[in-house]
């Protein structure tokens, strides 16, 4: 009976892979995470869809971060402390081109 269960499990793997290939013919290799989850008994197609969803979410976060960084004001580009000329002689010396 143990051998029969093993054959059934192998047939399930083959059927799962056939159904997966029909649904996703462009996938040449399973991501390691998907293969591990499938080996642990999870549905192959569901594992792959979950993997894709999380991958798309992380790519969206990266895209939003890049967009935010591009729109953020640049700090420290004013060239230093702004002072009024003619006030403090010490600050005038610091701001002079003689350095």
Dump pLDDT digits (tens) for 5-20: 555 556 578 889 999 9
Are 91 and 83 within 8 A, CB to CB? yes
Classify residue 47 as exposed, middle or buried by CB count within 10 Å of its CB (0-12, 13-18, 19+).
Answer: buried
Higher pLDDT, 99 or 71: 71
- Domain spans of the chain, in order of start: 30-66
Whether the pTM exceeds 0.85: the reply is no
* Whether residue 57 has pLDDT greater than 60: yes
Q: How does residue 1 score in pLDDT terms, banded at 50, 70 and 90?
A: very low
What mean pLDDT do residues 36-55 have? Answer: 93
Are 38 and 30 within 8 A, CB to CB? yes
* Whether residue 46 has pLDDT greater than 80: yes
Are 83 and 95 within 8 A, CB to CB? yes
């Amino acid at each position: 009976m143990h051998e029969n269960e093993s054959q059934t499990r192998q047939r399930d793997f083959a059927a799962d892979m056939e159904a997966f290939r029909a649904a996703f013919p462009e996938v040449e290799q399973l991501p390691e995470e998907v293969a591990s989850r499938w080996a642990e008994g999870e549905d192959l197609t569901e594992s792959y869809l979950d993997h894709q969803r999380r991958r798309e979410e992380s790519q969206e976060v990266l895209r939003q971060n890049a967009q935010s960084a591009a729109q953020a004001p640049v700090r420290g580009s004013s060239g230093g402390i702004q002072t009024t000329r003619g006030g403090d002689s010490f600050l005038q010396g610091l701001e002079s081109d003689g350095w």
